Structure 1
Amino acid sequence: MTSLVPSNSSKSFMGEAMETYYQTLKTEAGSAAVEYLKSRALSGASGQSFRLGYVANPLPGHEQYTGMLCVPYITRSGVVTLRFRALPDPNPEHDPSDPESAEYLPIMGPKYKSVPGEMPRLYNTPDLDRREPFVCITEGEFDAMIAHQAGLPAVAIPGVNGWSDWWGRCFKGYEAVYILSDNDPLKKKVNCRPCADEGLQECKGHNVGAESAEKLAAKITNARVVMMPPGHDVNSFVKAEGPDALVAKIGVKL
């Protein structure tokens, strides 16, 4: 079983990797990655705070992550793991005057890669040490970064299926735990058991983000699901409407 606390040698190596890739992000080699982060409405200050990096010259054992963003999981005890995100290619047909025009092409293959053997972890746990009577949970690191950038205490989970039951203890004592839910288009599933149980011949379609948020809410005391507008996640909503709109949607005072 993987230990919750990495060995000192592992933390030292991950700390070296984090700083190496962070410094690379600030060079010409990382320019495309910087433009991508800007397209996600992530500020330079946030990139520095979260120590995001770019893998141009991988450290030994990281060769498979070449050309990817590095997202370190930083805690009070240091770096406990690294995740890597694929960078999409720019869309050559992107029309900046058309809000529906995609700036980047879809990523073919897995978006994320984790260190082999690594267990799921909460992201941005330092925000659990803040003094607000509430905290936000997102699905995915970038949504947590954007919520944090908006002034909200926010952590991320790697998906409701990656939830560990003991994480619930991290959220006890809060007056409210806001689960910031993606509002996905309805997606039909093949051989959908819930719809079959309702006597339907075919799947009626499911909002995957909303269903995941409801499942997560059932595991946490004082959880409240906050649904983003149709077609949006936290990141795209803030990019479209601004950080104040997210704070207002949750209904908290900062």
Structure 2
Amino acid sequence: MPATSQKSALAAEAQMYAQAYKGSPAEAYMVKRGLGQVAERFGIGYVSNPAPGHERIEGWLSIPYLRPAGPDYTTTIRFRCIEDHDCKDFGHGKYFGLPGVKPHLFNTQALVGESSYVAICEGEMDVLAAAACGIPAVGVAGVSGWRDHFRPAFFGYETVYLLADGDDAGQGLEFADKVAAQLTNAKVIPFSGHDVNSLLLAEGPESVRAKIGLS
């Protein structure tokens, strides 16, 4: 757990980037992905003036991991390249996480509502896409991001929908099956040829809800 001073610094950085979001390339990127209407709710930002240590990610999207208590309580920040290029060709990954930070659940706000169900997505963008469809969801940053101590957060739900990316490598199903093996209330939903965000873009929110069986 970050020290109090570190937590305060993270919150300040997240809020600084969020204030730079309007009218930025990050806003244009989120609108293009069909997520413009929910981005500000999640504190999405733009790294226009990098904080010390963030110089290498100037021009990237910022994704704060906000706790239910509000934006003053930020667990960590992840960053995403929004350039239209193959990131490997430019010597970096698609995402950048703060050094030394262990995996956390994204959007834990979804766990304090009164819904009888919740979804788990592989990645933050699919969580925003689920929110745009009216579906409470949390995210895990990749197949290797799940931790056993996350399990109790999902015990009280009638159903936990595991939204599996339909990628060619089969990693989406690998992730969903790994988590489902630990949750007796889990239901794996394969998104063949899509992920949540791409299906939202291609066919709209009702198709996403229908895919999960919520329409």
TM (norm. structure 1) is 0.78
Partner Cα distance (1:79, 1:110) in 2: 23
Which residue is 1:98 aligned to? Answer: none
- Please say if residues 68 and 112 of structure 2, whose CA atoms lie closer than 8 Å, have aligned partners that are also in contact: no
Aligned AA (1:116): P
- Please say if residues 73 and 124 of structure 1, whose CA atoms lie closer than 8 Å, have aligned partners that are also in contact: yes
- Aligned: 1:7 with 2:3: yes
Partner Cα distance (2:130, 2:16) in 1: 26
Aligned AA (1:208): Q
Q: Deviations over 1:112-150 (max 9, x none)?
A: 111111010000000001111110000000001110121
Supply the RMSD in Å over aligned alpha carbons: 1.4
Which residue is 2:93 aligned to? Answer: 110
Which residue is 2:197 aligned to? Answer: 235
The number of residues matched between the two structures is 209
Higher strand share: 2
Q: Which runs of 4+ in 1 moved over 2 A?
A: 105-109
- In the TM superposition, what are the counterparts of 1:72-91 in structure 2 within 5 Å? 72-77=64-69, 78-89=73-84
Q: Deviations over 1:160-213 (max 9, x none)?
A: 32211110000001111000011122x4xxxxxxxxxxxxxxxxxxx2222221
What runs of 5+ residues in structure 2 fail to find an aligned partner?
none
What runs of 5+ residues in structure 1 fail to find an aligned partner?
90-104, 188-206
- In the TM superposition, what are the counterparts of 1:205-216 in structure 2 within 5 Å? 207-216=170-179
Which residue is 1:18 aligned to? Answer: 14
Which residue is 2:130 aligned to? Answer: 147
TM-fit CA distance, 1:17: 0.8
Moved more, 239-248 or 18-27: 18-27
- In the TM superposition, what are the counterparts of 1:182-197 in structure 2 within 5 Å? 182-185=165-168, 187=169
- Please say if residues 143 and 234 of structure 1, whose CA atoms lie closer than 8 Å, have aligned partners that are also in contact: yes
Fraction of identical pairs, as percent: 42
Partner Cα distance (1:160, 1:216) in 2: 10
Aligned AA (1:83): R
Partner Cα distance (2:13, 2:191) in 1: 35
Is the partner of 2:166 in helix, strand or coil?
Answer: coil
- Please say if residues 122 and 175 of structure 2, whose CA atoms lie closer than 8 Å, have aligned partners that are also in contact: no
Which residue is 1:251 aligned to? Answer: 213
Match of 2:164 among 181, 188, 206: 181
Match of 2:43 among 51, 54, 62: 51
TM (norm. structure 2) is 0.92
Structure of greater Rg: 1
Partner Cα distance (1:136, 1:25) in 2: 27
- In the TM superposition, what are the counterparts of 1:157-172 in structure 2 within 5 Å? 157-172=140-155
- Please say if residues 160 and 216 of structure 1, whose CA atoms lie closer than 8 Å, have aligned partners that are also in contact: no
- Please say if residues 116 and 157 of structure 2, whose CA atoms lie closer than 8 Å, have aligned partners that are also in contact: yes
Which residue is 2:58 aligned to? Answer: 66
Partner Cα distance (1:84, 1:55) in 2: 9
Moved more, 123-132 or 243-252: 243-252
Aligned AA (1:249): K
Partner Cα distance (2:114, 2:202) in 1: 29
